[in-house]
């Protein structure tokens, strides 16, 4: 008897030691899967539930393998991308057979795996729930949902139902614990915007509460920013189906910037369709990231990483994270004295503006206009091995202090835009950007570039009118880097980087002025 007790004690003791080794204290293991979704060959054609389920089950077979693989590596939560199960490019009618009924998890406690017959048209939810239950893992996935509505409801669509782009979250028991309906649809004519903004949190035993939002939501105040500010969440799960657009909105580039800007962790899963420019997933903290971006391979990718429950803040915020009131001091005396010096002009530059710039700093900085991200940016060329530049538009002035460490035949420019962006969505941005141009002529500045050879030390800052600044730092071949310094200094937001061993493609301060949308 005694012996048996001590065996039990020994066993328990060993188990505790073993599990402590698996999960470092204050850490958890997260997984995201970039999924090359099997798409309907003709999403515009009408089909039936049977055919829809057949297609979705093929994607779910892959999900199942990934859940098992993630759990084997100790993952406690796994995130799958937007549109990963059903695909995209449907009409309101053709997506209907793919839609499931998703009850509100706050009003009904439901485990679809254990109680499959409670609601009809829930085959996908049942499979997802069983995956979570069997592998004892929290699971986040995106589906299409239908919800009947009353004709008396003034917002009810004429066909008597809402259709929502919906994220579902299951706990490690397979219980449905959260449902988020996408707020900022990206030209998804198959779906409705929810009648009220969903502000959704769910709780986990390993990392506390998580917030959730989807794809295009990342650019807007509701619900992403409200969620973070109001509920002080430190973890976000983020299913997305993101088409990359350089130089400012590549998936991994912006996901990292979001984590840094809000001092949070974000688990981002994208779908993988390189021919459509869709790739870029990762597990991000403000200081470290584990990413996948691959335009060559057709394969998906499971990323598993152990991260801290309380993200460590960026070590070197310049002064304070909170935007201070209006004062008119410059961040540093050196920054105020803007003058061009030490010009080493390339042949082409000498032919155009550089000589003039050397003669008269004030007047002759050769401003030119070029389209970047469909916006009319004002640029000044980055000339010579080092210098200080300034360019303004509307109420935003951008400043750059730079030193080129390698002499290469590459043109860079400092650009500014302060205005309403109106192509592929309407939103107000204030941007200061140091970009590598597509070629050697000014008109190529703002083009999509992903490779560079130049090593550049820089300080970039601007007098933004919004406190929401997303710091982008993209190096050659879509590699991310981290700034040395970041944050507010008086009324300027500043980013600096020196001594990087990678070549610079884009360094930008992407400000979102939500009130002016």
Give the pair of three-digit tokens for residue 516: 């002016």
Binding of ligand NAG by 395 (CB under 6 A) = yes
Q: Residue 430 or residue 503: which is nearer to ligand NAG going by CB?
A: 430
Q: Which is nearer to ligand NAG, 69 or 397 (CB)?
A: 397
Restricting to residues 49-88, name those near ligand NAG by CB under 6 A: none
> Residue 247: is the preceding peptide bond cis (ω within 30°)?
yes
* Residue 225 beta carbon to ligand NAG: minimum distance, rounded to whole angstroms: 14
Joined together, the tokens standing for residue 306 give 């152990």
Q: Between 59 and 147, whose beta carbon lies closer to ligand NAG? A: 59
Contact positions with ligand NAG (CB under 6 A) in 217-246 = 234
Using DSSP's 3-state secondary structure scheme, residue 352 falls into coil
Quickly tell me which residue has 């799958």 as its tokens: 80
How near is the Cβ of 17 to ligand NAG at its closest, in Å?
24
Termini Cα distance of the chain: 73
Task: Let me know: does 371 contact 435? Beta carbons within 8 Å.
Answer: no
Phi, psi of 506, deg, nearest 5: -145, 130
Contact assessment for residue 495 and residue 509, using Cβ atoms and an 8 Å cutoff:
yes
Question: For residue 346, what is the enclosing H or E element?
Answer: none
How wide is the angle at C-alpha 14 spanned by C-alphas 11 and 16, nearest 5°? 110
Tell me the C-alpha distance between 5 and 100, whole Å.
51
Site for ligand NAG, residues 405 to 444, rule: CB under 6 A? none
Among 89, 245, 343, 385, binds ligand NAG (CB under 6 A): 89
Binding residue count for ligand NAG, defined by CB under 6 A: 21
Query: Smallest distance from the beta carbon of 65 to ligand NAG, in angstroms?
Result: 23
Return d(Cα 34, Cα 48) in angstroms, integer: 28
- Identify the residue among 101, 330, 369, 468 touching ligand NAG (CB under 6 A): 369
Cα separations in angstroms, 67 against 56, 133, 205, 261, 402: 16, 11, 19, 30, 47
In the beta sheet, which residues pair with residue 210? 202, 235
- Tell me the window of 216-224, 244-252, 390-398, 411-419 that interacts with ligand NAG (CB under 6 A): 390-398
Based on CB atoms, which residue is closest to ligand NAG, 206 or 343? 206
CB of 237 to ligand NAG, least distance (A): 17
Should residue 338 be labelled a site residue for ligand NAG when binding is judged by CB under 6 A? no
CA gap 512, 430 in Å, rounded? 6
Give the nearer residue to ligand NAG in terms of CB position, either 161 or 485.
485
- Cβ burial of 470 (10 Å; 0-12, 13-18, 19+) is buried
CA 22, CA 19: separation in Å to the nearest integer? 5
Query: What x-and-dash track marks residues 22-41 binding ligand NAG by CB under 6 A?
Result: -----------------x--
CB 7, min distance to ligand NAG, A: 26
Q: Which residue, among 283, 243, 253, 219, has the nearest Cα to 506 in the 3D structure?
A: 253
**Window contacting ligand NAG (CB under 6 A); options: 50-58, 66-74, 246-254, 389-397:** 389-397
Nearest residue to 412 (alpha-carbon basis) of 446, 381, 449: 381
According to the binding rule CB under 6 A, does residue 397 interact with ligand NAG? Answer: yes
Interacting span for ligand NAG (CB under 6 A) from 144-152, 170-178, 331-339, 404-412: 170-178
Near ligand NAG by CB under 6 A: residue from 291, 463, 490, 500? 463
Q: In the structure, how many helices (H) and strands (E) does the chain have?
A: 9, 25
Q: Which two tokens stand for residue 458?
A: 């820089």
**Residues carrying an active site annotation:** 82, 182, 215
The residue among 244 and 503 lying less far from ligand NAG, judged by its C-beta, is: 244
Shortest Å distance, C-beta 44 to ligand NAG: 8
Q: Residue 172 Cβ, how far from ligand NAG at the closest point, in Å? A: 7
Q: Which stretch binds ligand NAG (CB under 6 A): 10-18, 60-68, 391-399, 408-416?
A: 391-399
Number of Cα atoms under 13 Å in the Cβ half of residue 4: 1
Binding mask 243-282 for ligand NAG (x = CB under 6 A): --------------------x------------x------
Give the CA-trace dihedral at 428, 430, 434, 440, to 10 degrees.
50
Q: Considering only residues 294-323, where is the footprint of ligand NAG by CB under 6 A?
A: 310-311, 313, 317, 321
Return the number of the residue (206 or 317) whose C-beta is nearest ligand NAG: 317
User: What SS3 class is residue 14?
Assistant: helix
CA pair distance 372, 444, nearest whole angstrom = 9
Rank residues 114 and 161 by Cβ distance to ligand NAG and give the closer one.
114
Nearer to ligand NAG, 165 or 263 (CB): 263
Supply the minimum distance, in Å, between the C-beta of residue 500 and ligand NAG: 23
Q: Order the strands of the 281-284 sheet from edge to edge.
A: 201-204, 208-212, 235-239, 265-269, 281-284, 289-292
| Chain positions contacting ligand NAG, by CB under 6 A | 39, 43, 89, 171, 173, 175, 234, 263, 276, 310-311, 313, 317, 321, 369, 376, 392, 395, 397, 463, 465
């Amino acid at each position: 008897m005694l012996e048996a007790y001590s065996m039990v004690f020994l066993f328990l003791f060993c188990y505790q030691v073993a599990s402590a080794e698996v999960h470092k204290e204050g850490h958890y293991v997260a997984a995201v899967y970039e999924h090359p979704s099997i798409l309907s060959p003709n999403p515009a054609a009408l089909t039936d539930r049977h055919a829809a389920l057949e297609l979705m089950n093929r994607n779910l077979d892959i999900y199942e393998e990934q859940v098992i693989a993630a759990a084997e590596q100790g993952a406690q939560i796994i995130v799958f991308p937007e549109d990963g199960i059903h695909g995209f490019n449907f009409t309101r009618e053709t997506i209907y057979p793919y839609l499931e009924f998703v009850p509100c998890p706050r009003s009904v406690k439901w485990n679809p795996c254990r109680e499959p017959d409670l609601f009809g048209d829930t085959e996908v939810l049942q499979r997802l729930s069983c995956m979570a239950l069997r592998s004892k893992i929290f699971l986040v996935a995106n589906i299409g949902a239908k919800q009947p509505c009353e004709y008396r409801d003034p917002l009810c669509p004429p066909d008597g139902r809402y259709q929502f782009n919906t994220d579902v979250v299951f706990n490690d028991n397979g219980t449905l614990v959260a449902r988020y309906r996408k707020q900022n649809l990206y030209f998804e004519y198959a779906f409705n915007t929810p009648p009220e903004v969903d502000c959704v949190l769910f709780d986990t035993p390993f990392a506390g509460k998580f917030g959730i939002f989807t794809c295009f939501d990342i650019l807007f105040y509701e619900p992403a920013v409200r969620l973070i500010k109001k509920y002080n969440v430190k973890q976000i799960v983020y299913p997305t189906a993101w088409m990359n657009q350089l130089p400012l909105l590549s998936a991994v580039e912006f996901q990292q910037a979001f984590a840094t800007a809000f001092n949070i962790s974000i688990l981002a899963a994208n779908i993988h369709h390189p021919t459509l420019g869709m790739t870029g997933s990762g597990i991000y903290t403000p200081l470290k990231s584990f990413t996948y971006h691959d335009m060559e391979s057709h394969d998906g990718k499971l990323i598993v990483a152990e991260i801290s429950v309380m993200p460590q803040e960026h070590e070197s915020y310049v002064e304070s994270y909170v935007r201070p009131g209006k004062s008119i001091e410059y961040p540093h005396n050196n920054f105020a004295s803007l003058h061009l010096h030490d010009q080493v002009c390339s042949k082409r530059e000498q032919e155009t503006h550089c000589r003039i710039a050397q003669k008269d700093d004030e007047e002759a900085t050769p401003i030119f206009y070029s389209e970047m991200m469909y916006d009319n940016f004002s640029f000044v060329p980055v000339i010579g091995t080092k210098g200080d530049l300034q360019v303004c538009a509307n109420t935003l002035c951008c400043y750059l202090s730079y030193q080129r460490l390698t002499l290469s035949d590459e043109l860079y420019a400092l650009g500014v835009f302060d205005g309403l962006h109106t192509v592929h969505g309407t939103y107000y941005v204030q941007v200061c950007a140091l970009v590598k141009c597509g070629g050697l002529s000014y008109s190529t500045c703002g083009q999509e570039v992903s490779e560079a050879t130049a090593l550049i030390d820089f300080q970039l800052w601007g007098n933004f009118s919004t406190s929401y600044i997303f710091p982008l730092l993209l190096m050659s071949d879509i590699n991310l880097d981290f700034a040395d310094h970041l944050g507010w200094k008086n009324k300027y937001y500043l980013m600096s980087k020196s001594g990087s061993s990678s070549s610079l493609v884009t360094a930008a301060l992407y400000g979102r002025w939500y009130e002016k949308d």
